[in-house]
Amino acid sequence: MVKKRFTVFDQYWRIRVYRSLTFSSDTDAMKTALAFAAAMLAALPAQAGNVGIRVVDAAGKPVADAVVTIHPASGVPTGPIRFPWANQVVQKNIAFNPGTLIVPVGATVTFPNQDKVRHHVYSFSKPAKFEIKLFGRDESRSYTFRTPGAVALGCNIHDSMSGFIKVVDTPFAAKTNATGGTLVEGVTGGKAKLTVWHPRLRAKDNEAVFDLDVPASGEIAKRIQIVMR
């Protein structure tokens, strides 16, 4: 009996045959390989950086209460979005507090009334049209926000009352402080879109979008200039 040694060429074809038996086509094999690679990448510790933002107006003055959101090109992380603040807008001293609240899409927001007078909260905004008749002190009602976007709050009784709820679909969101600054921590590294929203920002939907390169570790600082009404 003659023992035949396989050449490299033979082995190549053996692999080709094996693959064609295992997978219906090379495309399927490729898809499986890519899915495996993606799973391996997902298992690695996330490469993430911190993004420091400073929002200023055309004159270079700080813009407070601007909402900054970041959407990584690779997609936002899966799972529920949680912020360290309460999904709550208090009515106190005939005002909404906070004046601008960021909530994750799907959040139920409570509207406790801490005033002695009645309020009647409403919104005509496209992402959430609703009205809540609030009565008396320490009574509360809630509303669930199911569509991302900006919601302007008003009160039927007090015209001076104005508030905003920004419903977001990314965990990378923050509001600027009195100095126009904010820090978004643990943002997925790589290319991303940075969106700045403010009720007086002069642009479609009151928002401006910028390209962003998020470092895989460490921190970057970005100054954003916007035009206000």
Using CB under 5 A, list all residues that contact Cu ion.
Answer: 119, 155, 157-158, 161
Of 39, 73, 103, 70, nearest to 207 by C-alpha is: 70
**Other CB atoms within 10 A of residue 184 CB:** 20
| For helices 8-22 and 26-43, angle between their N-to-C axes, nearest 10 degrees | 80
Nearest-approach distance from CB 157 to Cu ion, in angstroms:
4
Decide whether 119 or 198 has the Cβ nearer to Cu ion.
Answer: 119
Backbone φ and ψ of 215, nearest 5°: -70, 155
Which DSSP symbol is given to 206? G
The amino acid occupying position 74 is S
| Beta carbons of 166 and 196 less than 8 angstroms apart | no
Decide whether 134 or 224 has the Cβ nearer to Cu ion.
Answer: 134
Nearest-approach distance from CB 146 to Cu ion, in angstroms:
25
Residue 141: strand, helix, or coil: coil
Cβ-in-10-Å burial (0-12, 13-18, 19+) of 112 comes to: middle
Compute and round to an integer the Cα radius of gyration of the chain.
Answer: 26
Nearest-approach distance from CB 129 to Cu ion, in angstroms:
18
Nearest-approach distance from CB 64 to Cu ion, in angstroms:
23
Decide whether 78 or 160 has the Cβ nearer to Cu ion.
Answer: 160
Decide whether 142 or 179 has the Cβ nearer to Cu ion.
Answer: 142
Decide whether 132 or 157 has the Cβ nearer to Cu ion.
Answer: 157
Nearest-approach distance from CB 151 to Cu ion, in angstroms:
17
